[in-house]
Amino acid sequence: MKNNRLSRFAIPYVIWMALFVVAPIIMVVIYAFSASVGGFTLDNFAKMGTYTVVFTRSFKLALIATAICVLIGYPVSYKMSKEGPRFQRLAMVLIMLPMWMNFLLRTYSWMAILENNGLLNQLFRKIGLIALYNNIFGTDISFFRMINTQGAVVLGMVYNYLPFMILPIYSVIIKLDRSLIEAARDLGANSVQVFRRVILPLSLPGVLSGITMV
């Protein structure tokens, strides 16, 4: 009976998800199979082959960003799990803090950093890096082109989605049974063997969850 009363608090969340998540997806599906004059059609999918290059590039950038998130996220998660509660709380706040800002605002902030006259290029000019590059390669550039490149896209995705890789891995590692690690050490396993044969296999669910989310 108590659970039934508590479940009522989930009603606003269910309504919110239905209106702003489920309903838009249903509308996209309906439009995908609808002709401009109405009625069912498959013509919208007839020219999908012309976008093969775009699809391939999108999947490539997604895979690169995911791989980078794993390479960065796993060591960070592992380091957090080995530290004390105070460090873990501070690290969690620092990881979650950027997510409190609007996604679009964060993206535009990176645009201001990476643009041709942005903060990075201004810094490179002041420290003489661009002049050094011109002297070495015989060029005459006044900025490094970083905006509107595939590298900038990957950087933006890694920045925005890295917390979604760190948090699942951390939540799995922190809950590992420490007696298994102690048992492995008692049986003569060194730190590398403990990580490779105990921690890494048991943390794979968190890695897979992070990959799925990113």
Average pLDDT, the chain: 88
Residue 184 is predicted with a pLDDT of: 85
The total of structural domains in the chain comes to: 2
Residues 30, 100, single domain; the answer is no
Q: Do 115 and 168 belong to one domain?
A: yes
pLDDT higher than 70, residue 90: yes
Q: What's the pLDDT at 3?
A: 62
39/115 same-domain check: no
This prediction's pTM: 0.78
Let me know whether 150 and 186 are in one domain: yes
Pair 159, 201 in one domain: yes
78 shares a domain with 28: no
**DSSP E strands, the chain:** none
For residue 30, what are the domain limits? 1-46
pLDDT in tens, 43-89: 888 878 888 999 999 999 999 999 999 999 999 999 998 888 899 89
pLDDT in tens, 135-173: 998 888 888 988 889 999 999 999 999 999 999 999 999
Q: Are residues 112 and 41 in the same domain?
A: no
Of the candidates 64, 76, 67, which has an alpha carbon nearest to the alpha carbon of residue 163?
Answer: 76
- Say if residue 71 is in the same domain as residue 116: yes
Let me know whether 132 and 111 are in one domain: yes
Residue 109: give its domain's CATH number: 1.10.3720.10
Question: Are residues 33 and 73 located together in one domain of the fold?
Answer: no
Q: What is the DSSP string of 28-70?
A: HHHHHTB-TTSSB-SGGGTTGGGGHHHHHHHHHHHHHHHHHHH
Q: In Å, how far are 115, 118, 142, 144, 162 from 123, measured between CA atoms?
A: 12, 9, 12, 11, 26
**What pLDDT was estimated at residue 163?**
92
The answer to whether the CB of 212 falls within 8 A of the CB of 67 is no
Sequence letter at residue 170: Y
My answer on whether 4 and 83 are in the same domain is no
Question: Tokens at residue 127, please?
Answer: 């420290």
Rounded to 5°, the CA angle 95-76-188 comes to 150
Same domain? 153 vs 112: yes
Contact (CB, 8 A) for 19 and 11: no
